[in-house]
Amino acid sequence: MSYSVFYTEVTGQDLVDIFEYIARDLQVPETVKKQLEGILSAINSLDKIPQRHGALSILC
């Protein structure tokens, strides 16, 4: 069974903030792609086993 995974506006902004922090503040732009791919992969894998993480109370 497959579940739907939704990204909120806050999630999108958080990803942008992470991107900017790694690229600008840590000054390692070459790391950004690898880190964001890992984060997105983990989020997207929730469609298979969503019980690994609890739902946010604001979504319940």
Residue 41: inside a domain, yes or no?
yes
Please give the residue that has the higher pLDDT: either 52 or 5: 5
Number of domains in the chain: 1
Please give the residue that has the higher pLDDT: either 56 or 28: 28
For 23, the domain range is 9-59
Residue 16: inside a domain, yes or no?
yes
**40-46, Cβ contacts within 8 angstroms, sequence gap of 24 or more:** 40/15, 43/5, 43/7, 43/11, 44/5, 46/3, 46/5
Residue 52: inside a domain, yes or no?
yes
**pLDDT tens-place string over residues 6-34:** 888 898 898 889 888 888 888 887 888 88
Share above pLDDT 90 across residues of the chain, in percent, rounded to a whole number: 5
Residue 42 pLDDT more than 80? yes
